[in-house]
Amino acid sequence: MTTIKSRAARTARVHFRRILILLGLMVAVIIGLNNLTFYLIRQPQNVGTAQMIYGWARLYKPMIYDSVDAKSVSFGFSWVRDIFDPVKVEDLTGETFFNFGISGATSFESYRLIQNMLNVHRPEQVFLDLESFYDAPMASRVEHQFDERILYINRDGSVNPTAKMHRLIKINTSGAALGFNFAFLETLYKQRAGVPIESLLPSYQRRDWRAEAKLIADMKTWMTVPSVPSDSDRGKGGNQVPQLNDLAAAVTLLCDAQVDIHLYEAPYICGGDGTVSRTGLALMQRLANTCKSNITYHSFRYPNAVTMEGMVREPAPSLFYRPDGHPRPSLGQMMLTRILSLQDEPGAPPLPKDFGADLMAMSDAEAQSWISNRAARCYGTWADGELDATIAEAKRLMPDWESRF
């Protein structure tokens, strides 16, 4: 009996050791895979694509940025992620670009990422999406995946001495790292197998205007039937005054670091009654008085030849918008062409005359008039001839856009 028990105990110990060895091998394989993938992600030919993969960006983007000497950087929520494909942007501008767009990013998260960025290396310029910087409620200043322990700078501006340790732990042990790595490797494999990158990245999906008859009808009504604005209609975000404290703090940091700032409102069919634009403009005008760098503020959020695509083009898959209304990377190329005055550069898309304007380059009276004019379009009031001219220009440029995008 003793011999039988002894053999059973030895067998149990052997099985236990084998299980431990197997678990150890599995952990080693996972750690090895994570580190190999992280190495591949940071390679110049892959890093742009990695920035466009959905999910887990709160973990990976701060760490990827360490390996990119970017001249330009964008910040904001998912609209920013979708609108700026670093590969396309670099082809257009000839300079390195990093996209810090994160799904659901709060204004405070973007502020913290800017703090961290300035400690790693300073770009020449940044692009900030105004609507991404509406102050979040204190209860949701950060989302659950946003781990400030991996940032080199604490909230108070002091150095975080444990950032590298926490990064190492996250890369090797977190489920987020494993999830992102599998998504990246799948994308890389399919890309190398010849699948066009536009077919792999969700940012390139297209809204199908053929299935949007009601929206098109609504747009035509908005553009042609005079109406009166209400507190929350027609403008993404409504007509209420946004709180922009995190934006002010971020711009102040960038000004002190002498980084040029390009604030913008992304292209959208309507921007409400102009309240948001006026609020953003007043803030930028105040901050510009003491800023050590240049500030521009471009608004594209109003009815124009681009944002009215659905009502001026035969119904077809959209050139400019995803199914959820997010902008596609084609809009990022057009915006940067306007903001950076790249119209004469090879490969730059043709722009309508009325597509975005730098409100900071105008006198305050001119800017207020411009805002009022564009806001009125959303409520059916156009200056003489503007609606017909806008539609005509859209139809003239559409064939070129269709061949590009």
pLDDT for position 238: 64
Of 100, 98, 103, whose CA–CA distance to 55 is shortest?
103
Mean pLDDT per block of 10 residues along the chain (405 residues) reads 68 75 74 85 94 93 95 98 98 97 96 98 98 86 89 97 94 83 93 94 97 94 89 61 96 98 97 94 98 98 97 95 97 99 95 98 98 96 97 97 97
pLDDT for position 245: 97
Q: Scan for tokens 């995946």, then name that residue.
A: 145
pLDDT tens for each residue of 269-320: 998 899 999 999 999 999 999 999 999 999 999 999 999 999 999 999 999 9
- Is the distance from CB of 342 to CB of 348 less than 8 angstroms? yes
3-state secondary structure 363-387: CHHHHHHHHHHHHHHCCCCCCCCHH
3-state secondary structure 24-84: HHHHHHHHHHHHHHHHHHCCHHHHHHHCCCCCCHHHHHHHHHHHCCCCEEEEECHHHHHHC
Six-digit token pair at 307?
């944002």
Six-digit token pair at 198?
């536009």
pLDDT tens for each residue of 27-42: 777 788 788 888 999 9
pTM passes above 0.85: yes
Give CA–CA dist 7/190, Å, rounded.
52
